[in-house]
Amino acid sequence: MTPERIGIGAGSDESVLWIGRGVLDDSSQYLVSPSGRWLVVSSRNARSAAGRVRAAVGGTAILDLEIEDSEKTKTLDAVREIADRAIAAGVRRDDAFVAVGGGVVTDVVGFAAAIVLRGIPWNAVPTTVAGMADAAIGGKTGVDHPLGKNLLGAFHPPRAVLIDPSAADALPERDYRSGLVEAFKGAWIADADLSARAESRVAAILARDGTALLDLVLGAARVKAAIVTADPLDRGARRILNFGHTLGHAFEAAGGFQDLRHGEAVAWGIAAALLVSRDRAGLSEADASRVRSVLERLGPFPEPVRSRETLRSLLVRDKKATAGGLAGVLLESVGRARVDESIPVDEWLHAAELVSLSGVETRPP
Amino acid sequence: MTPERIGIGAGSDESVLWIGRGVLDDSSQYLVSPSGRWLVVSSRNARSAAGRVRAAVGGTAILDLEIEDSEKTKTLDAVREIADRAIAAGVRRDDAFVAVGGGVVTDVVGFAAAIVLRGIPWNAVPTTVAGMADAAIGGKTGVDHPLGKNLLGAFHPPRAVLIDPSAADALPERDYRSGLVEAFKGAWIADADLSARAESRVAAILARDGTALLDLVLGAARVKAAIVTADPLDRGARRILNFGHTLGHAFEAAGGFQDLRHGEAVAWGIAAALLVSRDRAGLSEADASRVRSVLERLGPFPEPVRSRETLRSLLVRDKKATAGGLAGVLLESVGRARVDESIPVDEWLHAAELVSLSGVETRPP
């Protein structure tokens, strides 16, 4: 099967997405290394995909390193370790990294590629649904800091992104389902047709039907590619991708980054944003129900922390906070979102109290 | 006095050099911070210049940090410390760093600016002659690694570079003289008129005459600006700036980065490159003598390590090494240099044995 090709950017910053079942087995056709030499960095959870990449690049890997793939290993020390190993292996400026794994692996390896020898090429092979639909696309790399997520990093687009939905076959059920949240998010903010198609196929997607999953992942990747093309350095338009992330980040942090997967926290954040969207963006109850219904079928997800005090202290630290409130993304209708520059923190806290994904909204006493 | 303005690059990557006596006292006119908030990082050796900058930016510094300015503190840990302090101070994407000091300070702060929040603006206020004529111009930032110099870093041009030769008034004699080597290098590789003028004024320059020094620094900055404009990402033309650096780096490393200042090692490297240039690039003895004579007047410099074994092992590890030899920069005439792609290592070693800056060349027995 011929994969779909989507180009982002131009010149030495061009990033090409290759999307289709089987692209991993033809990796050598799509991965880019000016020297033909590779530095493969993969996660334990992505051994099968890493094996397929390794088989394709053959004996030309000068480094083959396995790293952890959890949010707590997304640190500057992990980047330093990869850089040390690359330098010890004799890395040159025309060699290329290949990152095989979830969002942590692509973020960390991409950041190492950005700073080794002041920047060498890299390739992303996302093996999670969230990575395929979102995280590996757009050139943002980085690590967390004790004071916040993604506070250190670089814009350094991968030369190639190989998206092979078959890599998701091996995912644990919980990871698979939480990753789907980000894929659906891409549809909901910008593509009504894709939303309708994917919504009608939730059962097939959950059963990991190749065709249904490919359609969703490809559509979400197209949405992401179009948005980052318009705003490569995150100066404005790209903010729309944060749908569900204002409260999502707060829910995730309130759970210590342990109780909820990122996608699960975003699911709660989206559900809460639907409430604010009904009040502020004219979202119809019918559209809100459609989105909530999909989220419910992707779950059930663990309950988030709803404490006003906890969430408030997290929200006011948000990078997007101003005196007037928090910028946030609202849904006008399925397939159409917009950024609202200033939503009072209390509205978010109110939505966090009310939100429910059990089919019945919690009502305050 | 109205300073000279030199623009490099365009758009959000534009870097503007402001060169003239007194620009430091008018810093607030030239430094760039979209938010109007500053993070000042300076070295102990640059307290006077830092005071002038601080007075100009007034009470709007959200961070005011003093760091070490020696090659052994040019590390990823130093970058991490600056990033930690910036994040703790509540840095935002529209705030800007101001680095006040020598090449280590501008390299380290520029790198921190490149990775904090995936890149924020910064400004360079070089206080050494090498920084003014060379290091602070061109967007290269970075730190050393146990396995080599400048192996980690980023291309992240400062928004503004404030070059005020009066900042050099406070430099210790040895630092002042070694810095002049890089300034003269800029003249020799690309500007015959500047070379002739500066050569005729060595005594005035050594006496720190403001007019003579400004002319040399401004000319060298113009040379550097023109070269980095043609080759912002170091893909080719920029290599000519490495005149004297092939053996210079080896001399510096052989002395454990302690026996020789960078500029002193480069002086020896230039003197050796003159010998290779006479054999390979048709450099006249008259031109070679002119250059050597200036170097002798900037010295005397400590003797370098000349051991073939030591230097060979350092040269073959050079990033520019290939099977055929080492790429190197040769002088065709004063004001005109070229890159030779492949000079056998033995020719460099031979030149290292012969080179002298005492007016008499060492001859092998």
Q: pLDDT tens digits, residue range A129-144?
A: 999 999 999 999 999 9
Which three-class secondary structure state does DSSP give residue B356? Answer: coil
Task: Name the closest residue on chain A to residue B322, using Cα atoms.
Answer: A92
Average pLDDT over all residues of chain A? 93
A119 contacts in B (CB within 8 Å)?
Answer: 154-155
Task: Name the closest residue on chain A to residue B87, using Cα atoms.
Answer: A147
Asked whether the beta carbons of A311 and A328 are under 8 A apart, the reply is: no
Query: Which H or E run contains A142?
Result: strand A140-145
Of A12, A118, A142, the CB nearest to B153: A118
Task: Name the closest residue on chain B to residue A145, using Cα atoms.
Answer: B84
Phi, psi torsion values for A129, nearest 5 degrees: -65, -40
**pLDDT at site B364:** 44
Cβ separation B154–A233 shorter than 8 A: no
Cβ separation A87–B115 shorter than 8 A: no
B146 min Cα distance to partner chain A (Å): 9
The CA distance from B170 to B185, in Å, is 22
Q: Which region holds residue B117: left if phi is over 0, alpha if psi is between -120 and 50, else beta?
A: left
The CA distance from A109 to A79, in Å, is 7
Asked whether the beta carbons of B262 and B130 are under 8 A apart, the reply is: yes
Q: What is the mean pLDDT of residues A115-141?
A: 95
Instruction: Look at strands B140-145 and B122-126 and give their pairing.
Output: unpaired
B118 min Cα distance to partner chain A (Å): 4
Q: Is the pTM of this model over 0.95?
A: no
Q: Is the pLDDT of residue A364 over 60?
A: no
Instruction: Look at strands B140-145 and B148-155 and give their pairing.
Output: antiparallel
A114 contacts in B (CB within 8 Å)?
Answer: 154
Neighbouring C-beta atoms of residue A255, cutoff 10 Å: 18
Neighbouring C-beta atoms of residue A9, cutoff 10 Å: 16
Q: What does each of the 365 residues of chain B score in pLDDT, given as a tens digit?
A: 789 999 998 777 789 999 999 999 999 999 999 999 999 999 999 999 999 999 988 878 999 999 998 888 999 999 999 999 999 999 999 999 999 999 999 999 999 999 999 999 999 999 999 999 999 999 999 999 988 889 999 999 999 999 999 999 989 999 999 999 999 999 999 999 999 999 999 999 999 999 999 999 999 999 999 999 999 888 889 999 999 999 999 999 999 888 999 999 999 999 999 999 999 999 999 999 999 999 999 999 999 999 999 999 988 876 666 666 788 999 999 999 999 988 999 999 999 999 999 754 444 44
B115 min Cα distance to partner chain A (Å): 5
DSSP A27-89: HHHH---TTS-EEEEEEGGGHHHHHHHHHHHGGGEEEEEEE--SGGG-SHHHHHHHHHHHHHT
Q: What is the mean pLDDT of residues A259-273?
A: 96
**pLDDT at site A363:** 45
B83 contacts in A (CB within 8 Å)?
Answer: 145, 151-152
Crossing angle of helices B308-316 and B345-354, rounded to 10°: 140
Q: Is the pLDDT of residue A318 over 80?
A: no
Asked whether the beta carbons of A33 and A125 are under 8 A apart, the reply is: no
A12 contacts in B (CB within 8 Å)?
Answer: 233
Q: Is the pLDDT of residue A54 over 50?
A: yes
Asked whether the beta carbons of B93 and B117 are under 8 A apart, the reply is: yes
